Amino acid sequence: DQQVKQNSPSLSVQEGRISILNCDYTNSMFDYFLWYKKYPAEGPTFLISISSIKDKNEDGRFTVFLNKSAKHLSLHIVPSQPGDSAVYFCAASVSTGGFKTIFGAGTRLFVKA
Amino acid sequence: EAQVTQNPRYLITVTGKKLTVTCSQNMNHEYMSWYRQDPGLGLRQIYYSMNVEVTDKGDVPEGYKVSRKEKRNFPLILESPSPNQTSLYFCASSFRAPTPYSPLHFGNGTRLTVT
| Closest-CA distance of chain B to residue A113, Å | 27
- From the list B19, B4, B8, the residue with the least C-alpha distance to B82 is B19
Mean pLDDT of chain A: 93
CB contact under 8 A, B108 and A99: no
| Across B37-45, average pLDDT | 91
Contacts of A93 in chain B (CB under 8 A): 98-99
Peptide bond into B83 cis (omega under 30): no
CB contact under 8 A, A46 and B105: yes
Residue A97's pLDDT is 60
Q: Does B98 score more than 80 pLDDT?
A: no
Q: For the segment A23-78, what is each residue's pLDDT rounded down to a tens digit?
A: 999 999 898 899 999 999 999 999 999 999 999 999 999 999 999 999 999 999 99
Dihedral sign for Cα B105, A49, B40, B57, please: positive
CB contact under 8 A, A100 and B100: no
**How far, in Å, CA of B90 to CA of B27, rounded?**
17
Q: Which residue has the higher pLDDT, A22 or A102?
A: A22
What distances in angstroms separate CA B57 from CA B33, B37, B48, B54, B81, one per listed residue?
Answer: 10, 17, 6, 11, 18
CB contact under 8 A, B100 and A49: yes
Q: For the segment B18-29, what is each residue's pLDDT rounded down to a tens digit?
A: 999 999 999 999
- Burial track B96-106 (b if 16+ CB lie within 10 A, e otherwise): ebbbbebbbbb
**How far, in Å, CA of B110 to CA of B8, rounded?**
6
**C-beta separation of A69 from A55 below 8 A:** no
